[in-house]
Amino acid sequence: MTFDVQKNLISLLALDGISGHEHKIASVMQQQFSQSAHQVWQDRLGNVVAQYGSQSPDAFRLMVFAHMDEVGFMVRKIEENGFLRFERVGGPAQITMSGSTVRLDGERGPVPGCIGIKSYHFSKGDERTQSPSIEHLWIDIGATDKQDAARMGIKVGTPVCLYNPPQLLANDLVCSKALDDRLGCTALLGVAAAVEQMDLDIALYLVASVQEEFNIRGILPVLRRINPDMAIGIDITPSCDTPDLSDYSDVVINKGPGITCLNYHGRGTLAGLITPPKLIAFLEKTAAEHQIPVQREVAPGVITETGYIQMEQDGIPCASLSIPCRYTHSPSEVASIRDLTDCIRLLTAIAQVKGHQFPVAARQV
């Protein structure tokens, strides 16, 4: 059966799952993987793993991963008048919070709401132009009082997600919340569909990981179980074709996935990835052989699980494929179905490489 990239992406985007609450996405990933994988399991933290290809104990092990969680919020306090105070989970862009619509995962089902903003007509001075801090914001679910909110199934700790149903734009673009990283999750499913009938020389592990947006290290328990020879992460990177970023980088939408050369945390280089040149060359060579467009990227301010994976055990060579995305961590991220499809094509091509042809040494069994 042909894998429908757009349909599967839209399906995943319809689900909500902030860090630590990825179960809805995990259920779909596990169900999809179970149709074709040799084995599928979920660890106690929530990571979902599927194994494809060779089951030989000395086969080269490649782990490809993407995170299931999205940025969002959590209810911190319910006011007596029914309004909700909240905290960020991950890094949703503060500048976009006021006036955003949200959906709460209440105990009695989803509850719609919006993040309140002082009425423009009564705002004065900077109130009309400056974004208030989260301490001055609240969520309105229409509750008349604290008890009414409780009857809706809302309590302290209730997860809150941005709400913006996917919209298809011109030129193969899609606009939605949570493209970071449902794009990567869709890529995993696309690779699974592509390799299910292939006789791979390597052992391929596809991992849908948890809590990347919260502490970045949620994948570590499953990593230690797999003990891969090499890992490739799939995530997003800022697309620099918008007026505000056009002079920053040449990474743009609809020109293929990015190959990370360097990334690190925005507040310092204590965690990040410098991709080994031989891995970059390997990815570019594989892409060229299959006529898949790719872009090189240097992205300070971007950090993914690769920054921690590479330091595990005796060192795990890591690479990162990034799908360009506009307006990251906002309710209206924009990315390309075409770039996502090219990412799936490249990963599928890599999965077909013979184990001895990978540019890294195999682990000691």
Task: Count CA atoms within 13 Å of residue 20 on its CB side.
Answer: 11
pLDDT band at 1 (very low <50, low <70, confident <90, very high): low
- The reported pLDDT for the residue numbered 361 is 78
- The reported pLDDT for the residue numbered 308 is 87
Binding-site annotation, residues for Zn(2+): 67, 180, 213, 235, 329
pLDDT band at 163 (very low <50, low <70, confident <90, very high): very high
pLDDT band at 120 (very low <50, low <70, confident <90, very high): confident
Do 339 and 323 contact (CB within 8 A), yes or no?
Answer: yes
Neighbouring residues of 2: CB distance < 8 A, sequence distance ≥ 6: none
Binding-site annotation, residues: 67, 180, 213, 235, 329
pLDDT band at 365 (very low <50, low <70, confident <90, very high): low
pLDDT above 60 for 188: yes
pLDDT above 60 for 299: yes
| Residue range 35-51, pLDDT digits in tens | 999 999 999 999 999 99
Section 264-280 average pLDDT: 85
| Residue range 174-183, pLDDT digits in tens | 999 999 999 9
Radius of gyration of the chain (CA): 21
pLDDT above 70 for 227: yes
- In percent, the amount of the chain with pLDDT more than 90 equals 80
Q: What distance in Å separates the CA atoms of residue 226 and residue 9, rounded to the nearest whole number?
A: 27
SS (H, E, C) 78-126: ECCCCCEEEEEECCCCHHHCCCCEEEEEECCEEEEEEECCCCHHHCCHH
| Residue range 128-145, pLDDT digits in tens | 878 888 998 999 999 999
Task: Kindly provide the b/e burial profile for residues 240-255, where b requires at least 16 CB atoms within 10 angstroms of the residue's own CB.
Answer: bbeeeeeeebebbbbb
Catalytic positions? 212
User: What six digits make up the tokens of 41?
Assistant: 């399991």
Q: Which of 67-81, 162-176, 182-196, 256-270 shows the lowest per-residue confidence on average (mean pLDDT)?
A: 256-270
- The reported pLDDT for the residue numbered 307 is 86
Crossing angle of helices 5-13 and 179-195, rounded to 10°? 140
Q: Mind listing the domains of the chain with CATH numbers? A: 5-70+177-357 (3.40.630.10), 72-162 (2.40.30.40)
pLDDT above 70 for 27: yes
Section 2-9 average pLDDT: 95
82: left (phi over 0), alpha (psi -120 to 50) or beta: left
Among residues 219, 181, 184, which one has the least CA distance to residue 47?
219
- In percent, the amount of the chain with pLDDT more than 70 equals 98
Q: Which of 43-52, 138-147, 165-174, 259-268 shows the lowest per-residue confidence on average (mean pLDDT)?
A: 259-268
Section 82-101 average pLDDT: 92
Model's pTM, two decimal places?
0.95
Section 188-194 average pLDDT: 97
Do 312 and 229 contact (CB within 8 A), yes or no?
Answer: no
- The reported pLDDT for the residue numbered 126 is 80
Section 71-84 average pLDDT: 97
- The reported pLDDT for the residue numbered 216 is 87
Burial class (CB in 10 A: 0-12, 13-18, 19+), 357: exposed
Section 153-176 average pLDDT: 97
Q: What distance in Å separates the CA atoms of residue 263 and residue 247, rounded to the nearest whole number?
A: 18
Residue whose structure tokens are 């490809």: 64
What is the average pLDDT value for the chain, to the nearest integer?
Answer: 93
- The reported pLDDT for the residue numbered 364 is 63
